Amino acid sequence: MIAASVSDYRTLARMRLPRFLFEYIDGGSYDEVTLRRNRSDLEAVALRQRVLCNVATLDTSTTLFGERYSLPLGLAPVGIAGLNARRGEIQAVRAAERCGVPFCLSTVSACSLEEVAQYATRPFWFQLYMIRDRAFMTELMTRAWQAGCRTMLFTVDMPLPGSRYRDVRSGLANAPGPRGSLRRALQAVSRPGWFWDVVARGRPLTLGNIAPLLGRKSGLEDFFAWMRANFDPSVTWAELEWVRARWRGTLVVKGVLDAQDAREAINLGADGLVISNHGGRQLDGTPSTARALPAIADAVGGKTTLIVDGGIRSGLDVARMKALGADSTLIGRPWVFALAARGEQGVAHVLSLMNAELQVALALTGHVRAADLSRSALADL
């Protein structure tokens, strides 16, 4: 099968991955209402077609936090993404650099900060969760800085992990002990290509950044147990001040859906925001990011950098989010599906597809620069 779109890569990933990994990436929380809204609300955004404009020279580039990138698009942090292909985060950072876009490493990645840094030729981003062990958080920030990271995405929408029923059904979550391990093992051996690539040739199979805390307990059930025990539900705005005081680089708060929260984050020193509902994986029933974005842009637009994720599957969607008020966008599932299907080449291909789609959207809305997309590009329906 030749992948001509992101949806094709999803199909290929489903064929290649064990069920528990595919469902972990593909699924959302509860009844997945927000997951569906992220797509349906974005698809409903109509752009204003303009004709007979000189669009011979198109510029899709953008500048974020002093760095120039080829697209208003980056690879979002995705937990355990590196298990979808051999040393997956390394392949992803290579693809991102080839295509000139930022890559953000998750706290709970398979490859550690130090391992990814060995293969990165420019600073990559790092995502940090608020956990109970403040000393370990401080150590992670130090490690990230030493690895060359200068932009950190501080995720604030996960005081408790969301209830993701697909993970229960697949045996990934809430299935401790031999029975859960056996279910996952049977799924793994049913995908011999993935098993050979990742399990046989991709060791060590650990969560690189938090491996020192897990010790010998490195199974997936240990990871979920660690999350439940260590994510801190007592977090308040004071913790953002605590992080701001300890991080010397650019601080971006990820997980904002409310304009009041956006203003508060900026007042406490955030350099940027990611408008996000965690891909529909946390509180089900929240607004889509496409619906939440305009009000936040009205409240803080121009005062800070606004990045958005959630439901973005094409360069056309990037144009839609730009028109709604975003400075840039992030994708999660699309790059992980492509990674699972074709590794580094798949991720680079998805980015090239989205670049081409964005150029078409620019040309047919009468724009030559992605930076110029604004609400004037929206159709008045």
Q: Give the Cα separation of 86 and 198 in Å (integer).
A: 5
Q: Give the Cα separation of 326 and 308 in Å (integer).
A: 6
The 3-class SS string of 237-299 reads: HHHHHHHHHHCCCEEEEEEECCHHHHHHHHHCCCCEEEECCHHHCCCCCCCCHHHHHHHHHHH
The edge-to-edge listing of strands for the beta sheet with 305-308 is 73-75, 328-331, 305-308, 272-275, 250-256, 151-155, 125-129, 104-105
Catalytic residue among 37, 166, 254, 278: 278
The CA-based dihedral angle spanning residues 83, 84, 85, 89, taken in that order and rounded to the nearest 10 degrees = -70
In total, the chain counts a number of residues equal to: 381
| Contact (Cβ atoms closer than 8 angstroms) between residue 318 and residue 340 | no
The dihedral region occupied by 310, where left means phi > 0, alpha psi between -120 and 50, and beta the remainder, is left
Burial class (CB in 10 A: 0-12, 13-18, 19+), 145: middle
Does residue 278 carry a catalytic annotation?
yes
Strand pairing class (62-64; 104-105): unpaired
The torsion angles phi and psi of 255, rounded to 5 degrees, stand at: 115, 25
Which H helix or E strand runs over 182? helix 177-189
At residue 178, the 3 state secondary structure works out as: helix
Q: Give the Cα separation of 252 and 239 in Å (integer).
A: 14
Tell me the catalytic residues: 278
